[in-house]
Structure 1
């Protein structure tokens, strides 16, 4: 069993995703392991953003819609689960999506910027950080545009394991 599968087994138990099948039936959330991924584009991004999640500071994220399209991935929806890894690929948290919306970059609001938890948690700093990120890593050749569609997710931590320092 690999590290992610072992984490998933522990997370299902702690997050109470697995019930007593003979009484309650099989919980569909427990049948398939969710995707494992990390925040950001570098190991440093992944570690820093993961720590914000584990501290409870980061409860939202933003992804260019173009990224989902380029990867052929379905958009997340309420209830979507994800295993979040650190920069070394070690699973650390199980997240559940609580809200999803797609808006133009220039219509992201202050509340979402605060929920992302980065730097000073203002809309101005969110825009600066994300314009740079989308320009450098996530435009898939399209470049940055102020009206580019951005998928905004809010999430809750269902289970986590501490980062060893």
Structure 2
């Protein structure tokens, strides 16, 4: 049994959660350094939200489901539970949501600058499309539960 499966099974037994409530295990960010920084923010309860490019309804997180947050070495750090999921144009992301992301100085301006640069790169390099203010994003909030 790998470390992720073991981590999830122990969490399920301890918290009396059905094993099929796991949505996935993933690292936040674009590289191992980001994954280490962001998983630490989540584990400390500072980061309670994330934003990603909307790709399709099939890829949306499901409210009430659980995910395992991985560090830069793909090792489990903690478990989060999805609380809210909203799709909106990038230009409509709120200051509150940016603050809940817990990154940098937590200002809207800082969040916007970092995310606009990342989404521009992601859209061009990985999705083959152009990022604009109207590009739809998924705004998700979650709670660390284990």
Deviation at 1:73, TM superposition (A): 4.0
Higher-Rg structure is 1
Cα distance in 1 between the residues matched to 2:14 and 2:107: 34
**2:4 corresponding residue in structure 1:** 4
Q: Tell me if structure 1 keeps the 8 A contact 2:23–2:61.
A: no
Query: If the length of structure 2 is used for normalisation, what is the TM-score?
Result: 0.91
Q: How many residues align?
A: 144
SS in 2 for 1:146: coil
Q: What per-residue deviation string (whole Å, max 9, x for no partner) do you get for residues 22-56 of structure 1? A: xxxxxxx4236431110011001101111111111
What corresponds to 1:129 in structure 2? 114
Q: Cα offset for 1:77?
A: 2.1
Q: CA deviation at 1:15?
A: 3.2
Q: 1:57 to 1:107 in 2, by over 3 A?
A: same
RMSD of the alignment, in Å? 1.6
Match of 1:46 among 5, 19, 35: 35
Please list every run of 5 or more consecutive structure 2 residues that lacks an aligned counterpart in the other structure: none
- Give 1:94's aligned residue: 79
Gaps of 5+ in 1: 18-28, 160-165
Matches within 5 A, 1:1-165: 1-17=1-17, 29-31=18-20, 33-66=22-55, 69=56, 73-138=58-123, 140-159=127-146
Shift of 1:92: 1.1
TM-score by length of 1: 0.81
**1:136 shift after superposition:** 1.9
Secondary structure of the residue aligned to 1:35 is strand
